[in-house]
Structure 1
Amino acid sequence: MSVAFAKEESAEAASETILPARPISDRINLVTQAGLQMLKDDLARAQQALEAANLLEDVNERRRQSAVPMRDVRYFAERVRTAQLMPAPTSNEVVAFGHTVTFERDDGRTQSFRIVGEDEANPSRASISHGSPVALALIGKAVGDIVMLGQRELEILSIS
């Protein structure tokens, strides 16, 4: 193997390992207790994957295998560091972070979502980020209130 080929292989491997940082929102990093635990678990998994990659003998393969875990460690470490744990709501009078809100849309459909932190949000599992348009429209409102979301109306049916 020529030296030129080895350098090309190293340059190729190096370019594969330079991943852009995961974007971090400029919103305040509010989290529920479950959301904070999820971030800590994700950080631990990324650290374990990075440790496993660092055990590889081949330097080029080690670089390739450690790229994603290294990026994830940086992301999750920052999210855990900046997390602001929010206590569970003590009142169901008005919609707040941590509440599950059930509302009826003007097309007759009823939906329920829990308002949580950005990393915890998963609309397919009935949770939305506190910074989402729906959450922003609902926060501070009470049962019976009608809020506008673009051209749509939402009527708050319950808060829990």
Structure 2
Amino acid sequence: MSRAFVKEDGNDLEPLPDLPLSPHPNYVTPRGLTALQTRLRDTQERLALLRARPDRLDKLPEAAAERDIRYLEARLRSAMVIDPAQQPLRAVAFGLSVVVADEAGVESRYEITGEDEADAAQGRIAPQSPLARALIGAEVGDSVIWRRPTGPATLEIVAIEHPA
């Protein structure tokens, strides 16, 4: 094989494209801000370990860590911290926990958090989600329509609380 087509230096790996940033305001809870800061620190530590490897032929993990650091730094720069403890409990709002009952009377709890903190398995939803948009502004006793892909659902607001 001709050496003319073999790349030997491997030092010119282009940076990976940046991860897309949300066009929405970056509201975060204090817990969400701490989580972003922790993720950034952990990613910076991982990058330092990758750069300290004796065999650095594969630079892709380093490029991925650098990309993730750029994303996390951008999210931290744009973060607008809202403390749920300072939110009044009159209506559903960012950072608050809400208990709803569906048409069958089954209760569920949701907490409206920042996008980076959202986790459906823990009942944490982003403010831009269809469920959060239906809930925000509602008061205890109100019924709201949650427009789901499987069809609309009516939910009654049972309680509005500060998260535990």
Q: Same fold (TM over 0.5)?
A: yes
Counterpart residue number, 2:124: 127
After superposing on structure 2, the runs of 4+ consecutive aligned residues of structure 1 that deviate more than 6 Å are none
Displacement after TM superposition at 1:6 (Å): 4.2
Separation of aligned partners in 2, 1:153 and 1:41 = 38
Report the AA paired with residue 52 of structure 2: L
Report the AA paired with residue 79 of structure 1: R
Separation of aligned partners in 2, 1:55 and 1:2 = 33
SS of 1:7 mapped into structure 2: coil
The superposition leaves residues 101-137 of structure 1 with CA deviations (integer Å, 9 ceiling, x where unpaired) of 0001124322101110000010101211111111111
Separation of aligned partners in 2, 1:90 and 1:27 = 21
Counterpart residue number, 1:77: 73
TM-score (structure 2 length as normaliser): 0.85
Give 5+ residue unaligned stretches, structure 1. none
TM-score (structure 1 length as normaliser): 0.87
The superposition leaves residues 66-92 of structure 1 with CA deviations (integer Å, 9 ceiling, x where unpaired) of 022111100100011110001224321
Displacement after TM superposition at 1:58 (Å): 3.9
Displacement after TM superposition at 1:149 (Å): 1.4
Bigger fraction of residues in helix: 1
Task: Percent identity, please.
Answer: 36
Contact 2:145 2:154 in 1 (8 A): yes
SS of 2:37 mapped into structure 1: helix
Give 5+ residue unaligned stretches, structure 2. none
Aligned length: 156
